Amino acid sequence: MTLYFFERIADDDFIGPVIIAAPDEDGAWRLLAGRERSDVDALKTLGWQIAQDLAALPARPTIVYPSHYRRAILS
């Protein structure tokens, strides 16, 4: 099982993180689509994206940043 961190960022709105546990990415998108009462393609058009996926729990306490935050910190 993998944890998928979804978010949607727009000019005037931010939704997230929505954290979904699923066996794969397709399953995670389907669960998000069910939650949002929409279909996957419509969600992607609206700007939903996977900010991070966490396939294993960290071995020690840590802060888990979405991948684009980590890139910004390292830049």
Spell out the domain ranges in the chain.
Answer: 2-74
pTM: 0.78
SS3 annotation, the chain: CEEEEEEEEECCEEEEEEEEEECCHHHHHHHHHHHHCCCHHHHHHHCEEEEEEECCCCCCCCCCCCHHHHHHHHC
Read off the pLDDT band of 73 (50, 70, 90): very low
Rounded percentage of the chain residues whose pLDDT exceeds 70: 88
Question: What's residue 44's pLDDT?
Answer: 95
